[in-house]
Amino acid sequence: GVNETTPYGSLEGHLKDALNKGRPVHFLPPYRADNQIRISQWMDIPINIVKSRASEALIKAVISLVSIKSPEEVAEMEKAVNITRAMHLAAMRRARPGILEAELAGIVEGIALAADGQLSYPAILTVNGQTLHNHYHGNTLKEGQLVLGDFGAETPTHYAGDITRTFPVSKSFNTRQKEIYKIVLDTEVACIEALKPGIPYRDVHLYAARMITEGLKALGIMKGDTEEAVQAGAHALFFPHGLGHMIGMDVHDMEGLGEDHVGYGDEMERSSQFGLKSLRLARTLMPGFVLTVEPGIYFIPELIGQWQEERKHWEFINYEKAQQYRDFSGVRIEDNVLITETGHQILGQPIPKTIQEVEAVRQG
């Protein structure tokens, strides 16, 4: 419990007294600029190095506590996912040729607000899914396109949902869309099934990379030995981001404490390889972790052209075939998952994600 309280105005004096006595003062990296200024003034630290003076011991202690979600927190995160479910269903149902992305984005944000919450991050709702973190909503939907929706609700208690679904503007997927979608769906389902305590999430990410490589090889887009291709990072042309991240009161939970502290800790170092270096969560999973699983396949015309010109990973990539998908855009599927004592639990009520389920919503 708390044995003593003092007015906020006396904090500066207490800190200076502690510093004069040689006592260590622990603080977390300040997120707000005004707090950075206060710490600079109170502790006589140049403002440009305040964050570098944050206590690593306190950072690690906070991460160890916040990483494990209590049952009450999990219940709030389920609420966030269920509101997010309604948002995604609305987007799938209201999408049609001729509607602006902005109108759909407004519909989904309205559902979050109506639930006494807000968006947990700026919505990604785009026909240009090949562009990661695409918050532009100025395009008009057209027949034959895919819509990638990556958005979530934040509850009144500030817990976040983060779900991605991809669906056709037409009433059904075309053959090429089904082929790519199935690779991503099979990968997401298999990766979720692999989750349990004691498994390094980095291994699950690499499992996803191998599955995506195998799927693209079957379509003639990639070639060669799967393991060698993944070790070389050739798959990252089509899967250039990490499989997932921690989620909680921040959509990228505790991001302000440093991604490497949160996602890696002391057990492993972050890779410098393109694609793998973007993996936010790599550490060994523990009961109580809540994380995202979000594999994707993207055809980025500029990157395909650049790699082809450089003859990069030519032994693993069929560039002639890849160029045929330049106008495909991208597919991502994402769920929020709790690590339990014996395995895992997908949070919230099911959100349509099989080809049949998504088409049923579009045709309903």
**pLDDT tens digits, the chain, 364 residues: what are they?**
789 999 999 999 999 999 999 999 999 999 999 999 999 999 999 999 999 999 999 999 999 999 999 999 999 999 999 999 999 999 999 999 999 999 999 999 999 999 999 999 999 999 999 999 999 999 999 999 999 999 999 999 999 999 999 999 999 999 999 999 999 999 999 999 999 999 999 999 999 999 999 999 999 999 999 999 999 999 999 999 999 999 999 999 999 999 999 999 999 999 999 999 999 999 999 999 999 999 999 999 999 999 999 999 999 999 999 999 999 999 999 999 999 999 999 999 999 999 999 999 999 9
- pLDDT at residue 111, as a whole number: 99
Judge whether 101 and 135 are in contact, CB under 8 Å.
Answer: no
- pLDDT at residue 32, as a whole number: 93
Q: Which residues, other chains included, contact 165 with Cβ-Cβ below 8 Å and sequence gap of 6+?
A: 88, 91, 92, 149, 333, 334, 351, 352, 353, 358
Domain with residues 71-363, CATH architecture: Alpha-Beta Complex (3.90)
- In this prediction the pTM is 0.96
- pLDDT at residue 18, as a whole number: 94
- pLDDT at residue 2, as a whole number: 87
Domains of the chain, residue spans: 8-54, 71-363
